[in-house]
């Protein structure tokens, strides 16, 4: 979490400065790193259609590690407490809102969601 933008999945995987540098170093063309795709799915579809399989595998490994680092960040907390993470998304095209809540114990194990 860099605090330089809304922590969306697209920010985490593509738009965050650290993420787009990692993707560029892994061989992703700058045009894809700075794509104008407006959703994670659209960007991943664009990526999968424009990269060769060997390049795509490396990019997917980088994305997986970015996701794991994000999920590992801040998971430890005091014994006896439960950590609650909540996320909200709004789709203006469909005028719908989604809320996700997940609870973890002090080891980071998911208790429910």
Min. distance of Cβ 73 from Zn ion in angstroms?
Answer: 12
Determine if 67 is a binding residue for Zn ion (CB under 5 A): no
Min. distance of Cβ 105 from Zn ion in angstroms?
Answer: 27
Site string for Zn ion, 5-34 (x = CB under 5 A): -----------x------------------
Min. distance of Cβ 77 from Zn ion in angstroms?
Answer: 22
Burial 46-81 (b: 16+ CB within 10 A, else e): ebeeebeeebbeebeebbeebeeebeeeeeeeeeee
Residue 3's region, left for phi above 0, alpha for psi from -120 to 50, else beta, is: left
Residues forming contacts to Zn ion in the complex (CB under 5 A) are 2, 4, 16
């Amino acid at each position: 979490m860099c605090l330089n933008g809304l922590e969306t999945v697209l920010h985490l995987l593509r738009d965050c400065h650290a993420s787009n540098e990692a993707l560029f170093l892994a061989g992703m063309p700058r045009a894809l790193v700075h794509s104008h795709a407006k959703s994670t799915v659209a960007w991943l579809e664009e990526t999968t259609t424009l990269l060769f399989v060997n390049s795509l595998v490396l990019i997917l490994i980088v994305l997986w590690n970015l996701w794991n680092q994000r999920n590992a960040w801040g998971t430890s907390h005091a014994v006896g407490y439960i950590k609650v993470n909540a996320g909200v998304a709004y789709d203006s095209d469909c005028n719908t809102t989604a809320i996700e809540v997940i609870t973890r114990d002090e080891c980071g194990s998911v208790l429910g969601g």
